[in-house]
A and B are shown apart, each in its own frame.
Chain A
Amino acid sequence: MSDSASIMPEHPPVTDWVNDFDHTDPTWTENPFPIWEELRAASPVVHTERFLGCYMPTTYQAVKEIAYDTEHFSSRRVIVRDIRPEITARAPPITSDPPEHKPAKQLLLPPFTPDAMKKLEPRVRAICNELIDEFIADGKCDAAARYTKHVPVRAIAHMLGIPEKDGDLFIKWIHGILELGIKDDNALMEAVREMTGYFAAHLEQRKQNPTDDLISTLMKARDKDGNPLADEHVLGSLRLLLIAGIDTTWSAIGSSLWHLAKTPADRERLVKEPELMPLAVEELLRAYSPVTMAREVMKETTVSGCPVKSGNMVLLSFPAANRDPAMFPDADKVVIDRKENRHAAFGLGIHRCVGSNLARMEMTVAIEEWLKRIPDFRLDPAGKVTWSEGTVRGPRQLPMLFGKTN
């Protein structure tokens, strides 16, 4: 259990965004887009004294420079938090820098190719329909709690070969790590400990009885010298897949449905022209990118002409990069058939999200199946949409009404 001593003092409200930004401030959580615009107008790189010192690149160009520069910017810490404890639980390859990064990533890539995702797709389609069956007759639902959350949980459980019904545990750990953990170290450590114990038991089972799933694939993997991976490496990668594979996609599907609920023209167009889905998914990923990463500055350098000093963290906001009008005309508008779209929702450079093909497939299938069964829907004016805080942004309550308005 968390004790109050481990919880950092509450953050004072932000009054000066340019010199004192805070991505955990309720104003940011509710609607970050005007804040990013203000920061971008001020400088390509801004700084806050919060989080023991942290920069934020505000333009696509500055985000790209940092993502490509693994010499000055380390991935050993990938979440901006109030504290910087000693690094204990690594999660390769996301927390790896060159030269360790490439071999760790190569091991994870083959199970996540588009072809591999095609094999998983029928199961995900069935999951979506099982979920919709549970609430469609009610004429309404909280789409975050009843739908968008469960699609990635069940899909990744299916891939890993662990029970889909353990999903509630996964969601609890992820909340502890990505949200509570920013300010409460005990909540984070407790979640990591429980998760590691859970996967260690699955590893032991498979040592006796090997299976045909992603956990066994990792256990059978050999490094370049032909040696099996240490249990600690396998456990780290499993923690990563679970943390990175769930609330990210949950958020992306949720933001997409939120947009479609309040934008009948886009919804009707997708129902009439389903062939637009691939472009639409990329545009929804651009406009509502869920994932903000972090780096730690290892050596002094400059980014887009701005000096950057070691000892600071960097809030690497791919979502803000994707709203930069210098890169995307009408950046704050969702153009559902945008043709030119080099968005960075899955990162840029060597840390490109290993699960990007999985996320795209889940988003596509989850939106398609929803639109087939529930072509007309809107936000429930009696309810309230709430958004997650911190590193991954998406709706956590998404009350919807089905059918046409009269």
Chain B
Amino acid sequence: MAGKLKVRVDQDKCQGHARCKSLAPELFDLDEFGNAHEVGDGSVPEGLEDKAYLAQSNCPEIAIEVTEE
């Protein structure tokens, strides 16, 4: 069994392209300026692992980290 995934948005790198929110709204949300942050503590619920990696691989600023716990 692979470990549980966590996502994190690097606030210094995020420029608000909002690609993550569009691809994985369960995992990412936007603030009033449209900049992204992870939902809750960033834990990826089972079944959404592909979406976490999809969001990561579409971020133009390489601002998303996906780590295995």
B17 — which chain A residues lie within 8 A by C-beta?
A: 346, 352, 356
- Establish whether residues B54 and A339, one from each chain, have CB atoms under 8 Å apart when the complex forms: yes
B68 on interface, CB distance cutoff 8 Å: no
Instruction: For B60, give the chain A residue with the smallest CB separation.
Output: A342
Distance between A296 CB and nearest chain B CB, rounded to angstroms:
21
Interface size on A, residues (CB 8 A): 22
B22's contact among A112, A278, A346, by CB below 8 Å, is which? A278
- Establish whether residues B15 and A340, one from each chain, have CB atoms under 8 Å apart when the complex forms: no
Distance between A64 CB and nearest chain B CB, rounded to angstroms:
9
Instruction: For B35, give the chain A residue with the smallest CB separation.
Output: A109
Chain A 327-368 near chain B by CB (<8 Å), digits 1 or 0: 000000000000111111010111010001100000000000
- Establish whether residues A348 and B61, one from each chain, have CB atoms under 8 Å apart when the complex forms: yes
A110 on interface, CB distance cutoff 8 Å: yes
A349/B33 contact (C-beta < 8 A), A278-B22, A340-B58 known:
no
Q: What is the interface of chain B mostly: helix, strand, loop, or mixed?
A: loop
Distance between B24 CB and nearest chain A CB, rounded to angstroms:
12
A356 — which chain B residues lie within 8 A by C-beta?
A: 17-18
Please measure, in the bound complex, the distance between the C-alpha atom of A228 and the C-alpha atom of B17, giving whole angstroms: 28
- Establish whether residues A341 and B16, one from each chain, have CB atoms under 8 Å apart when the complex forms: no
Chain B 1-34 near chain A by CB (<8 Å), digits 1 or 0: 0000000000000011111011100000010111
25 contacts between A and B (CB under 8 A): A106-B33, A109-B34, A110-B32, A110-B33, A113-B34, A114-B18, A114-B34, A115-B30, A278-B22, A282-B19, A282-B58, A339-B54, A339-B57, A340-B57, A340-B58, A341-B58, A342-B57, A342-B59, A344-B60, A346-B17, A346-B60, A348-B15, A352-B15, A352-B17, A357-B34
List the interface of chain B (C-beta within 8 A of A): 15-19, 21-23, 30, 32-34, 54, 57-62
